[in-house]
């Protein structure tokens, strides 16, 4: 599938790599990347701050060892971390550092990781445009922007003839909907901006592995995932369980399929620390929920 108005041909599942170099070591990360690539996966999302740059380094070593850079659509980000912001100098420096860690000459999709209200949009977008014109970046995108700032950025690019943001990466999933649904979703629909949600599985809750009395409650993600274990969360899990059983697939795949069925959503982003975790996600790529199933999940999450 093509991503929005770009020529980036991407797999339905974007592989998040925030766990690489953190809870997944290099060998585990290589195994996940090999398994994802082996089923046709080609869209990898990282950031300069993930594991202090280790995620980018692991991906770079993997692509170099497999010789498959030209088959990968690679996304990374700038704007957070120890030196935050989107000042031109910071963007230029961060891009060079990411290119070095990734062992590549280009970034396919380069995100502003977070809005920087202290730097004029004209300066930020001109810095990104310079990278595009130099061939170091193919397209730029925004993450964690609200509707007003994204609209201003798109208008600024059009007015100044600068490379525009071609996608948005917001926090959005079945149980966290108010951050995206509404003005931001409406803007994306009006401007033809595809949405690539992060935390698509609500920090693990929508995998169905975090339940009262379950073994997963001892994991490091348990406190965040368990925050959704209220009456509404249990109602969502029941609906997910029944739909997953009907399709004979994992709950995580159903959760991603609901997200992909929402207006403007192009490619959900989900991470996997191990190959079995990835295998739970992959059936999503060929799953189409019925309208009734989509409504049932949405109603359960109200």
For residue 73, the enclosing domain spans 14-169
Q: Considering its fold, how many domains does the chain have in total?
A: 1
210 is catalytic: no
Q: Which residue in 50, 139, 172, 210 is the catalytic one?
A: 50
Domain-embedded: residue 153? yes
Domain-embedded: residue 148? yes
Q: What is the CATH number of the domain that holds 59?
A: 3.20.20.100
Maximum C-alpha span of the chain:
57
Domain-embedded: residue 107? yes
Domain-embedded: residue 100? yes
- Residue 217 has what pLDDT? 47
Domain-embedded: residue 155? yes
DSSP-derived secondary structure for the chain: -B-TTS--B--SSEEE-TTBTTTB-HHHHHHHHHHHHHTT--EEE--TTGGGGHHHHHHHHHHHHHT-GGG-EEEEEES-SSS-S--HHHHHHHHHHHHHHHT-S-EEEEEE-S--TTS-HHHHHHHHHHHHHTTSEEEEEEES--HHHHHHHHHHHHHHT-PPEEEEE-B--SS--TTTTTHHHHHHHHHTPPB--BSTTGGGGGGT---TT-GGGGSTTHHHHGGG-SHHHHHHHHHHHHHHHHHTS-HHHHHHHHHHTSTTB---EEE-SSHHHHHHHGGGGG----HHHHHHHHHHT-
Domain-embedded: residue 180? no
- Residue 210 has what pLDDT? 85
- Residue 225 has what pLDDT? 78
Q: C-alpha angle with apex 193: 190 to 194, nearest 5 degrees?
A: 125
Domain-embedded: residue 270? no
Domain-embedded: residue 2? no
- What pTM did the predictor assign? 0.96
What is the pLDDT tens value at each position of the chain, 302 positions in all?
Answer: 999 999 999 999 999 999 999 999 999 999 999 999 999 999 999 999 999 999 999 999 999 999 999 999 999 999 998 889 999 999 999 999 999 999 999 999 999 999 999 999 999 999 999 999 999 999 999 999 999 999 999 999 999 999 999 999 999 999 999 999 999 999 999 999 999 999 999 999 999 998 886 655 445 566 777 789 999 999 999 999 999 999 999 999 999 999 999 999 999 999 999 999 999 999 999 999 999 999 999 999 99
């Amino acid at each position: 599938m093509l991503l929005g108005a770009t020529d980036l041909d991407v797999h339905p599942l974007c592989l998040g790599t925030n766990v690489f170099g953190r809870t997944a070591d290099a060998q585990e990360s290589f195994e996940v990347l090999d398994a994802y690539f082996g089923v046709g996966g080609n869209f990898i999302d990282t950031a300069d701050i993930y594991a202090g740059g280790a995620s980018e380094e692991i991906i770079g070593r993997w692509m170099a060892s497999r010789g498959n850079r030209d088959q990968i659509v690679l996304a990374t980000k700038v704007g957070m971390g120890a030196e935050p912001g989107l000042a031109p100098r910071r963007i230029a420096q961060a891009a060079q550092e990411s290119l070095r860690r990734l062992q590549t000459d280009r970034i396919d999709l380069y995100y502003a990781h977070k809005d920087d209200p202290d730097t004029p949009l004209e300066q930020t977008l001109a810095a990104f445009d310079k990278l595009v014109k130099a061939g170091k970046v193919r397209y730029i995108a925004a993450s964690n922007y609200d509707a007003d700032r994204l609209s201003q950025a798109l208008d600024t690019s059009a007015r100044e003839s600068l490379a525009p943001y071609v996608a948005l990466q917001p926090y959005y999933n079945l149980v966290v909907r108010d951050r995206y649904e509404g003005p931001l979703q409406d803007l994306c629909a009006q401007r033809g901006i595809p949405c690539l949600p992060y935390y698509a599985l609500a920090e693990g809750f929508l995998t169905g592995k975090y339940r009262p009395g379950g073994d997963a409650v001892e994991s490091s993600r348990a406190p965040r995932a368990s925050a959704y274990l209220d009456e509404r969360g249990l109602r969502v899990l029941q609906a997910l369980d029944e739909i997953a059983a009907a399709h004979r697939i994992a709950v995580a795949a159903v959760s991603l399929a609901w997200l992909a069925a929402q207006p403007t959503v192009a490619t959900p982003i989900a991470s996997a620390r191990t190959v079995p975790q990835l295998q739970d996600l992959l059936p999503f790529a060929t799953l189409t929920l019925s309208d009734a199933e989509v409504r049932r999940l949405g109603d359960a999450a109200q």
